[in-house]
A and B are shown apart, each in its own frame.
Chain A
Amino acid sequence: MSTKFLIHFAQIHTDFRIAELESLARLNGINVDLHKGSPDLSSPYLVVELQSIDEAKKLIERSILVKEICEYWAEGKTYEELFEKIKQNPERNMLYKKDSFKFNVDVFGGSNTEEEKLRKINNFSFLPFKGPIDLKKPNQEFMVYENYGDVDSPGGRSSEPKVIYFGRRIASSSRYEMIKKFTLKQRKYLGTTSMDAELSLVMANQALARPGTLMYDPFVGTGSMMLTCAEFGSYTMGSDIDGRQIRGTAGYRKGINGIKANIDQYKLSHRILGNVVFDICQNPWRAMDLYKDSGWIDLIVTDPPYGVRAGAKKLGRRNGTVEDYSFKIVDGVENHKRKDYYPPTVAYEMEDVVVDLLEFAAKMLVVRGRLVYWIPTVTEEYQLDDIPIHPALELVANSEQPFGSWSRRLITMEKIREWSEADSKVYNTNPADSENSSRCTSSTSLSGLPNNKPSPAHRNFRARYFSKFIRQDSPATPADAGN
């Protein structure tokens, strides 16, 4: 028999919350329909049906976008209607006769003075609760939620509540403690593109980070997601083309031991396996040559370089030839063998980054493993089929964080079957690239995208970002991208 529960969301990143709960349901083997009656994202309340209180606790325990979950008792357009419904279940009301208790009034889209709240609470005195009121450690906490609607709710905001819910609090999520723990304000080592705590945690949930799994971030930077995934139990590892990011010798709060300072701060060294410096386009992962077998990474969680703040780059020279410079003798040593040698880099277009990332994930993930990554899109031009596809990966979620004229989207994909040689032929239209699996896409050809459509909303994102999204109708050449 299923019971109704009421979920109270933090009214933020609303496009992410159903996806997060679906991931958590999956993680805990819970069957729940989160799309009943097409959930209204302008309301922070959602009624769901679950099998038990235990399921309700598990479902939201790790959630970042849920605040708490209640056993649903009733709802009404007015208090009279609400009270009528509560009275229809006298047996349930009697269950809490002796418990100490507390009432909370939570208001969305309106406001109540403390006196108003108290007056409203007193109107519940028809309930047979005889136990003492205990504001600190009550046995039971009852929640009254008034929803006045918000500016973007259907019908806008009103002066009277549109709906009032009543329920018994079951559990709180880890939202408060986790965000507090990982907030960038307290983070020892930070870079200019460190992912904020809340979204790093949501990403870990989307990826199903959990004990006994291996997480990898190929654009690890200062390691934000490596930390949150380790917090949820995964072993984690990362790589970056820029060793200064990892070691912390450049950037924001530098000279404090880089990612290692963060690992120590959160005491996660027992789950963080290490970081390596390399270009994901020439990556040394051994399994790349053994990919006939299944992959070995359980989750890839990453924020690829958009080229807006963190310059997207890969090793190489613009025209693709090796310049003599590299072999020049400097101080008696060939240049490339010198300690501080840093190979030249060329711009790496967002579109190519993503195509390469999907192909990499399709090979390296275990079947059922997840890829969670961000992709920026130009709002006006966005279409669902701008999101790159791969025959071995299934789109699980696509959640938008809007910034006006552009958005970034958190994409969650799941590997549904083994990678096969044929995939890279379909997926990668540049024949030169499929020869060597550890090499990246080397042109801004429309690789990975079906039927040569003109311009996906992330194509040449950097150039367009800086040109204020003026649509470029002529296809951009690679040369446009570097500057």
Chain B
Amino acid sequence: MLQCHAKGCDDPAKNFPLEISDFTKEEIEAEKNKDFLVRMLPKLEWNALYTTAVKLGITGLPETLPSDAETNDEFLSALHTVLLEVHIKEGKMTCNGCNHVYPIKDGVPNMLLAEHEI
């Protein structure tokens, strides 16, 4: 859901998704809500979500969005984990457009820009 927002870095194919590296992750159990996931489905850019999940070493998501996504419980449960339960504790998010590195510290990404980027 987060993209690079530096000035001039506006190629939507490159400023998203940010590439996560040097990370430690944790899973925090989240409440399940099927309706919510179904409602989010059309808002997701599947390819970006899939490649990011793979980077994070999470298997279980299919490469393409299944046609029965809304009713496929196994799929929804994998999606639930990726969207709501996996948290990056420490790491870096790098923009493929301008190479800006956004650090993640104590589970909180820092996405402030430097002044020449605004």
Contacts and interface: CB of A to CB of B under 8 A. Distances in A.
A316 B29 CA distance: 39
Q: Say which size band chain B's interface belongs to.
A: 20 to 34
Contacts of A293: 42-43
A376 B63 CA distance: 50
Nearest to B113: A282
A449 B109 CA distance: 35
B35 interface: yes
A17 interface: no
Nearest to B6: A282
A274 B108 contact: yes
Interface in A275-321: 275-279, 281-287, 289-290, 293, 296, 315-317
Interface of B: 1-5, 12, 16, 28-31, 33, 35-36, 39-40, 42-43, 45, 84, 87, 105-116, 118
Given A283-B5, A284-B2, A241 B112 contact: yes
A59 B35 CA distance: 24
In this complex, the interface size class of chain A, counting residues with CB under 8 Å from chain B, is 35 or more
16 contacts: A211-B31, A211-B33, A212-B36, A214-B36, A243-B105, A247-B105, A247-B106, A270-B28, A273-B84, A276-B108, A276-B109, A282-B5, A282-B113, A284-B5, A315-B115, A316-B115
A235 interface: yes
Interface of A: 211-214, 235, 241, 243, 246-247, 258, 260, 269-271, 273-279, 281-287, 289-290, 293, 296, 315-317, 322-323, 326-327, 336-337, 341-344, 438
Contacts, number: 109
B30 A270 contact: yes
Contacts of B12: 289
A277 B115 contact: no
Nearest to B102: A284
A274 B104 CA distance: 12
A235 B36 contact: yes
Given A212-B36, A274-B87, A286-B3, A247 B108 contact: yes
A326 B29 CA distance: 41
A327 B108 CA distance: 26
A287 B12 CA distance: 11
Q: Which of A211, A260, A282 has the most CB of B within 10 A?
A: A282
